Structure 1
Amino acid sequence: MKERNRRSIVGITLSRIIGLIIFLIVLGILNIVAESLQAPIYQQIVLFLNASLGLIVIITVFFLIGEIFGALRFPANLPAPLFNAIGAVFLAVFLIRLFGLVAAISGVGVFLLFEEFAFLIYPAVFLIVLIGGFIGIFTSAGDTGDGEGKNDEKKSDGTDRTWDDIGDDIRRIGEDIIRKIREEFRKG
C-alpha cells in the first residue's frame, strides 16, 4: 500500500508541475502575440495574467501540498484541509481580481460587488474548505479500503447497513425537520 501512495504522490506532483509548465508556455505565447497584436482588451488580459503569475504559482503550490497530504493515510493527512483552505483563499483572491478585470473591460459594475464583500468571502471560503476537508477526513478515517469501516453498524435483523439505508435515514431526518418547520409556521 505504501508503494501505491508514493506513486500517487509522485503522480500528483508531476501532474501539477506539468500543468504549471504548460500554463507558463501558453502565457509566454500570449505575451509574444501581445507584442504584435494591438488589441487593448487582449493586452489587458495578458497584463492581468502576467501580474497574477505569482498568485497562480502560490495557488498551485498550496493545492499541491494539500493534495500530497491528502494522498497519505490518516493521521498524516490531517494538514491537507489547511493547505487546501489557504489555496482556496488565494484562488478566491484571484477570482475576485478576475471579476474586477471583467468589470473594467465590460463596464458592468455588478462584478465589483465581490471586491466590496471580499472581507466576508475570504474567511467564508477558508472555513468552508477547512471544515469540509476535516469532515471528509474524519468520515473516511475508519475506512480500511475494503468497504468496511471501524464503526459499521448492524440493522436490527443482524444484516449490515448499506448506503441506501443511511440515505433513507438522512431523508427521514430532512422530512422531520421540514414537518416541524411547517408545524411551527402553522402555530405562529
Structure 2
Amino acid sequence: MTDVGHRSPEPDEAAPGWSVRHVAYGDPDAVALTEEVQEIYVERYGGPDATPLDPLMFDPPEGSFFVGYLDGVPAASGAWRRSPAGALGVEPGSGAAVEIKRMYVRPAFWRRGLARRMLSHLEADAAASGARLVVLETGDQQPEAIELYLSSGYTPIPGFGYYADSPSSRSFAKLLHP
C-alpha cells in the first residue's frame, strides 16, 4: 500500500482552519471516519454500506482518499476511485470516469460548508488525474447529500454499481472541466 499519510495538509485560504490531507485508506483518521459513516448508514438504512471495496482502489493512480481537518481535528472524509464501467459516453477502462466514495462530515461540523469544500477538493484532484466525469451514489435517506450534489451541478443518472437496482439508491454524475 502506498504511504501517503505523511503529506502536509493543504490549507484552504477561504476557510481559516480548514485543511485537507491525502491519506492511505488505513490511516487512523480515515478508519475512524469510515466507521462513523457506516454507523449512520445502519441508523438510516438498517445496515452498513455493503459495496465491495479494496483499499488499493484508493491508492494513486487508481484513486485517492482524503481527510479534512478543521483546526487540526478530523472533521470530514472523501475519496474517489477509477470507475471500471463506462458511463455517459466515457470509454470503459479509460480512467476518464471516477466514482466518489466515503463522503462524510462528522455531525459536530455540519452546516459549515465542509461537505461542499471536500466535494470540490475531490473533483479538482480527480480532474488533475485525468478524470472527465464523476459519478456517485447516495440514498434516499440522505436528503442533505442529495441537495449538496444537486446544488453542486450533479444530475440524476440511472443506478449503477452495487446498488443499481435498489429502490432507495440515487445516482448522480457531473462532467468535469479540464
Structure-2-length-normalised TM-score = 0.27
Larger Rg: 1
Greater strand percent: which structure? 2
Structure-1-length-normalised TM-score = 0.26
Greater helix percent: which structure? 1
